[in-house]
Structure 1
Amino acid sequence: MDIANVIVGSVLTEKSERLKAARTYTLRIASVATKIEVRQALKKLYGVDVERVRVFFVRPKRRLLGSGRVMEKRHRWRKAIVTLREGSRALDLASFRTN
């Protein structure tokens, strides 16, 4: 997979903002991306050293319609929780390396 397409964006919630104090960042990633690809993308594009990557799918939000039918309101997506090493600089998703 192309490294530029691994990280889709950041997840902005109260919990993710609270975890930033512990050098832990929450990212939305491509559904076929692996832990190794996430680690390589962060190292190459943002220049940060990653200590730990946790990856999982977020369940879709569903709504029941009449007579047992189900409608998906939000599709499932993949989330990565990344912890940076002690000496690494903070992750800024707005600025990335071009080389």
Structure 2
Amino acid sequence: MNVNEIIKGPILTEKSYQLMSSGVYSFKVSPKTNRSETKKAVEYIFNVKVEKVNIFTVPKKEKKLGKSKGFTTKYKKALVKLMPGYTINLFEDESPQDQKDSETVSENTEEKAKIAKKKAELEAKNKEIAEKLAKKQAELAKKDSETNENQEKRIENQTENQENSAN
């Protein structure tokens, strides 16, 4: 059997993460494979030394989705224990991603500083505009009160003129 066909992929669960710290890795393997083929495949693909391999078949389980019932597919699972000092990095993109994350964090802090500066400038402009509006409103209120007084005087003069003309 071809080495690439033996290992289907890693099994990543909470339990498998706990086992990884003790050097045991779990893989989904081809149903036709055996322990020795799995050992050779892991050693060849990951360049590690394998101490022991346990293989077992995970049975199908009944699942429900709404009203319909079905079964999960059965598969073969391999628990591979490595020799001390060897590890498998299942997440090779992790280290460059960490560097990218740190770069994006520094960029984010710079962007946040720029945004905070712009907000402060906008708040200052808003205060100036609010002060100008308050002054204009005060001037308009003054003019309105003056026009109201002038209108009252005109009305009084008109009523006096009407009274004088009536006499």
The TM-score range, normalised by the shorter chain, is 0.7 to 0.9
Matched, 1:92 2:89: yes
Question: Greater RCO between the two (CA within 8 Å, min separation 6)?
Answer: 1
Larger-Rg structure: 2
Residue segments in structure 1 that go unaligned for 5+ positions in a row:
65-70
Q: CA RMSD in A?
A: 1.7
Shift, 1:93, TM fit = 3.7
Secondary structure at 1:18's aligned position in 2? helix
Match of residue 73 from structure 1: 71
TM-aligned CA deviation for residue 26 of structure 1: 0.7
The AA in structure 1 aligned to 2:84 is E
Q: What is the CA distance between 1:63 and its match in structure 2?
A: 5.3
Q: Which runs of 4+ in 1 moved over 3 A?
A: none
Identity of aligned residues (%): 28
On the 8 A contact 1:57/1:77 being kept in 2, the answer is yes
Are the aligned partners of 1:46 and 1:93 in contact in 2 as well (CA < 8 Å)? no
Structure ranking higher in helix proportion: 2
Cα deviation for residue 72 of structure 1 reads 4.2
What's the TM-score, normalizing by structure 1? 0.81
For the residue of structure 1 that corresponds to 2:12, the secondary structure is coil
TM-score, normalised to structure 2's length? 0.49
Give the structure with the larger strand fraction: 1
